[in-house]
Amino acid sequence: MTGGFLTELERKTLSENINFTAIRDGRFKNNQISVNFLMPLKKETAALHALIPLVLKRGCRPYPNMTLLNRRLKELYGARLDGGVGKRGEMQVISLYCAALDDTYALEGETLLRECAGLLKSVLFDPIVTDGALSAEDVEVEKKNLADLIESQLNDKRHYASLKAKEAMCAGEAYGVSEYGTAAQALAITPAALYEAYQTMLKTAGVEIILVGPADKTECESLFAEAFAAVSRGKLLRCVTDVIREPGPVRTVEERLAVNQAKLVMGFRAGTAAPESEADTMQLASAILGGTPHSKLFENVREKLGLCYYCFSYFERIKGLVFVEAGIEEQNYQKAKDEILNQLELLKKGEFSDDELSSAKLSLENSYRELNDTLYDISSWYLSQAVTSQIRTPDQTARALAEIDRGQIAPTAAKIKLDTVYLLAGERKD
Amino acid sequence: MDLELIESKRLHEKIYYTRHPSGLDLFVSPKKGYSSQYAVFGTKYGSIDNCFEFGGETVRVPEGIAHFLEHKLFESEDGNAFSRYAKTGANANAYTSFDRTCYLFSATSNFYESFEILLDFVQNPYFTEQTVQKEQGIIGQEIKMYEDDPGWRVFFNLLSALYHTHPVKIDIAGTAGSIAQITSDLLYKCYRAFYNLNNMVLCVAGDVDPERILKTADRLLKTPAPSKVRSIFDPEPDTIVKQRVEQKLSVSVPLFCFGFKGSPAEGAEAARAEAESSILLEILGGDASGFYRRLYDKGLINSSFGLQYFSGRSFASTVVSGESRQPELVMEEFLKEVKRLKSEGIPSEEFEMAKKAYYGRLASHFDSVDNVANGIIGSHFTGMGPFEIVEAAARVTPENVAKRLANTFSEEKAALSVINPL
């Protein structure tokens, strides 16, 4: 059963590189509107861009501090206004969004969407500016928070290992840059520099505005069309992800911290990336390898050989990379690595059962179709699609995967080449 | 066996309910147009139930056994439930919490085939010494993974500071030592005691026909001999164990968690406690509060700061957590704020704002099939109906909140847990 009959999608170009996508869906009690700015990910500007949404969401001229703004949101039935930064391929995406109960559920006939879209617009276009700079107090507090956020990536060891592996693997590439920048860069940001970066963003970034929920889009669309029309757009940025297909000699990196469970991360160049048609096949190949509890990695590295607690693989489809991650005992490192590479070899030779193939397909189809069911997933999906300029619904993607022939998989998997091996393990007690 | 309609006109939601002859409670929430259907089969058995009375004897079992059982239940003589789900494409999982264990799946196709798998493997246990041994290795690694997790540790360390004997402080997975004592006989004993259908609940949310769900469940549910199990808790004194606990882990900024020991509640009282506490905490330290902004702008807290009414069957505490370089100062400031609010009273507009925000958040829960299903189970196991918290929230008065403020934050019943960097 799909959500088809309750959902309508409309995508409109408001002006060059500014798109408004509306997905009208009567199943939800909430509406969510997000405004996303696409900028190239670069070492020099990453921290600056990461700080923009953190400062903007603290307030705006009508509600000049976080308490006043948050109080207004509470009055609007606990509406949420938040924002942050993400990485999609070699693009840095700066997002601000507002989610609120639909007007239907307001107890006193309040026009919640209009109010919330208005707040989002103010936060984006009407921040508090003094002497050509954003609020010095806000910038001071938030840049420290950003620096802390960057350092606290240490806390979740699995996440940390994944980040460090990517950093090492893509050291000279934009992808190796953190979407938050570095703590040192964050602390060095001035209110004037931030204001300038914010204006550059408004004037030159690609913009994707996405509305999901039961409400009619007309008012929202005009509100943002008008707001952007007032911005004199400059030379528009092109965001391109450099897909490197061939690795150099295999890099091995080892790091030691006080951990109980070691983490192994292996990075591979996939040799294909979205929107190439082979990217779908690579997605399926990766799922057969290690994307489900019936995958080759789970069944062999974990269940049969007992070498790890978790072992999975995934395809970074925009940059064209495949990763395998495993939580292991350090003493099993060599065995685990060997078995992972063994399972990959078998995949490349086409040695996987019909069951392994059908369960991977079913699992992927299921996870795509499930995306239809939450506002956040729908919004996130269409942002990802817009970023590779290939707009498909989750159902269309599920269907495309279902149609992949067994014979296509091995030749595609053959392109997967090992690039980097990273191990995070406990401190040696000498 | 008839389906009874439980309705919330306020939220435009309908839930169907029946008590099956086996004693099982069945709930169906038809959510038209959703792509995924979600089913949860849960039992009122969790990490806190490590001492119980069943079949005329009192049994004490090793810590972590409920979680161990959850892992092993997926296995049968001829394979594993995951392999069966692989053929239907369902996304399956399970979790063990303090007071319940739940087996679930979500599916966008082949729902009824997956539903049969769920009802089959949960009702058919198969434990052997070999399969128990293999799992000891896997769960041993899971335990190690959680030992590294600072968020998990700061919270459990707090529980051990607040509770003398209550098993809520036990790590849900147990310890390497405790799981080494688990045998297949013990697993069968726990299974027979707690996995009787009269101790269980089944809930489905999604685009399904309630009558068809009922018919299918009826065909697949066994009718066991009725039995009763009673969990026994050693008496827990009103006092706390110690005021401060600290541990060092590989973190960048210290994590903290301070809590105030409270009294457990069930049924209507639990719904009121949940609603009143949530609104109170919003007023005290939510992100629209003066307290939040004051500490945030001083760099004493950041957006990870949160307040929670932590409760379940037989336990309740109020917990405040976050990251800070000065956790003691955060707690001190919080206590000052409690005092201030007590003496000055809660302004009515703050109360209205918090109440509205809470209602909005609760209503939003119903947008997601898995929140609906898990919410129904959670409420049910605490003796509440599916909409009871929403209704309680609508009825909360400023006086209720003032009373809760007066009774929740006793310093004698408070403890602070900190995880410091190495």
Which pLDDT does position A179 carry in this prediction? Answer: 96
Contact A287, A356 (CB under 8 A): no
Comparing alpha-carbon positions, the chain A residue that sits nearest to B394 is: A107
A374–B367 CB contact, under 8 Å: yes
Contacts of A297 in chain B (CB under 8 A): none
Classify A363 as helix, strand or coil: helix
Counted residue by residue, chain A has a size of 430
Please report, in angstroms and rounded to a whole number, the separation of the first and last CA atoms in chain A.
60
Which pLDDT does position A7 carry in this prediction? Answer: 65
Contact B188, B131 (CB under 8 A): no
Give the closest of A78, A79, A155 to B358, CB-based: A78
Average pLDDT, chain B: 95
> Tens digits of per-residue pLDDT, A391-422?
899 999 999 999 999 999 999 999 999 999 99
Q: Any CB–CB contact under 8 A between A8 and chain B? A: no
C-alpha A48/C-alpha B303 separation (Å) is 19
A302–B288 CB contact, under 8 Å: no
A327 contacts: CB under 8 Å, gap ≥ 6: A158, A261, A262, A263, A264, A308, A309, A310, A311, B141, B145
C-alpha B20/C-alpha B25 separation (Å) is 6
Q: Any CB–CB contact under 8 A between A396 and chain B? A: no
DSSP state of B23: S
Comparing alpha-carbon positions, the chain A residue that sits nearest to B296 is: A141
Give the closest of B138, B144, B288 to A70, CB-based: B288
Average pLDDT over residues B204-221: 96
Give the closest of B33, B150, B358 to A6, CB-based: B33
A370–B149 CB contact, under 8 Å: no
In a mutational test of the A interface, the residue from B131, B284, B367 whose CB has the highest number of chain A CBs within 10 Å is B367
Average pLDDT over residues B343-363: 94
Q: Complex ipTM, two decimals?
A: 0.85
Residues of B annotated as catalytic (active site), given as ranges? 70
Residue A392 phi/psi, 5-degree rounding, is: -125, 150
Contacts of A30 in chain B (CB under 8 A): 364, 367
Q: How confident is the model at residue B145 (pLDDT cuts 50, 70, 90)?
A: confident
Which among B52, B50, B35 has a CA at the least distance from the CA of B107?
Answer: B35
Residue A267 phi/psi, 5-degree rounding, is: -110, 135
Which pLDDT does position A304 carry in this prediction? Answer: 86
Comparing alpha-carbon positions, the chain A residue that sits nearest to B33 is: A3
In a mutational test of the B interface, the residue from A55, A164, A284, A362 whose CB has the highest number of chain B CBs within 10 Å is A362
Q: CA of A340, closest CA in chain B: separation in Å?
A: 18
pLDDT in tens, chain A (430 residues): 333 435 678 999 999 899 999 999 988 999 999 999 999 999 999 999 999 999 999 999 999 999 999 999 999 999 999 999 999 999 999 999 999 999 988 878 889 999 999 999 999 999 999 999 999 999 999 999 999 999 999 999 999 999 999 999 999 999 999 999 999 999 999 999 999 999 999 999 999 999 999 999 999 999 999 999 999 998 888 888 999 999 999 999 999 999 888 999 999 999 999 989 899 999 999 999 999 988 999 999 988 888 888 999 999 999 999 999 999 989 999 999 999 999 999 999 999 999 999 999 999 999 999 999 999 999 999 999 888 878 899 999 999 999 999 999 999 999 999 999 999 999 876 5
Residue A65 phi/psi, 5-degree rounding, is: -145, 170
Residue A254 phi/psi, 5-degree rounding, is: -130, 135
Task: Give chain A's largest Cα–Cα span.
Answer: 70
Q: Any CB–CB contact under 8 A between A182 and chain B? A: no
B250–A70 CB contact, under 8 Å: no
> Tens digits of per-residue pLDDT, B159-202?
999 999 999 999 999 999 999 999 999 999 999 999 999 999 99
Which string of b and e fits B87-107 if b means at least 16 CB within 10 Å?
bbbbbbebbbbbbbbbbbbbb
A71–B91 CB contact, under 8 Å: no
B363–A366 CB contact, under 8 Å: no
C-alpha B234/C-alpha B51 separation (Å) is 9
Question: CA angle, B301 as apex, B300 and B307 as ends, to 5°?
Answer: 135
> Tens digits of per-residue pLDDT, A144-191?
999 999 999 999 999 999 999 999 999 999 999 999 999 999 999 999
Classify A10 as helix, strand or coil: strand
Contacts of B357 in chain A (CB under 8 A): 73-74, 77-78
Which among A22, A23, A134, A115 has a CA at the least distance from the CA of A75?
Answer: A115
Q: CA of A207, closest CA in chain B: separation in Å?
A: 27
Q: Which residue has the tokens 């940390």?
A: A160
Which pLDDT does position A6 carry in this prediction? Answer: 52
Which pLDDT does position A5 carry in this prediction? Answer: 39
pLDDT at B12 over 90: no
Question: Which sign does the torsion angle of CA A369, A371, A375, A381 carry?
Answer: negative
Q: Any CB–CB contact under 8 A between A402 and chain B? A: no
Contacts of B212 in chain A (CB under 8 A): none
> Tens digits of per-residue pLDDT, B264-288?
998 999 999 999 999 999 999 999 9
A309–B145 CB contact, under 8 Å: yes
Comparing alpha-carbon positions, the chain A residue that sits nearest to B108 is: A366
Residue B175 phi/psi, 5-degree rounding, is: -125, 165
Residues 279-318 of A with CB under 8 A from B: 292-294, 302, 306, 308-309
Residues 91-110 of A with CB under 8 A from B: 100-101, 104-105, 107
Which pLDDT does position A1 carry in this prediction? Answer: 30
Q: CA of B239, closest CA in chain A: separation in Å?
A: 33
Q: CA of A84, closest CA in chain B: separation in Å?
A: 12
Give the closest of B12, B356, B368 to A374, CB-based: B368
Contact B52, B231 (CB under 8 A): yes
Residues 70-89 of A with CB under 8 A from B: 70-71, 73-79
Contact B38, B369 (CB under 8 A): yes
Give the closest of A78, A157, A329 to B361, CB-based: A78
Which pLDDT does position A382 carry in this prediction? Answer: 93
Q: Which helix (H) or strand (E) holds A144?
A: helix A136-151
Which pLDDT does position A239 carry in this prediction? Answer: 86
Which pLDDT does position B236 carry in this prediction? Answer: 94
Q: CA of A386, closest CA in chain B: separation in Å?
A: 23
A26–B33 CB contact, under 8 Å: yes
> Tens digits of per-residue pLDDT, A344-360?
999 999 999 999 999 99
B356–A77 CB contact, under 8 Å: yes
Which pLDDT does position B415 carry in this prediction? Answer: 98
Q: Which amino acid appears at position A388 of this protein?
A: T
C-alpha A7/C-alpha A127 separation (Å) is 35
In a mutational test of the A interface, the residue from B37, B38, B84, B148 whose CB has the highest number of chain A CBs within 10 Å is B148
How big is the A-B interface in CB pairs under 8 Å? Answer: 190
> Tens digits of per-residue pLDDT, B372-411?
999 999 999 999 999 999 999 999 999 999 999 999 999 9
pTM of the predicted model, to two decimals? 0.91
Residue B11 phi/psi, 5-degree rounding, is: -100, 0
Contacts of A374 in chain B (CB under 8 A): 367-368
Q: CA of A62, closest CA in chain B: separation in Å?
A: 16
CA-to-CA dists, residue B149 to A166, A332, B283, angstroms: 22, 22, 30
Other Cβ atoms within 10 Å of B343 Cβ, number: 7
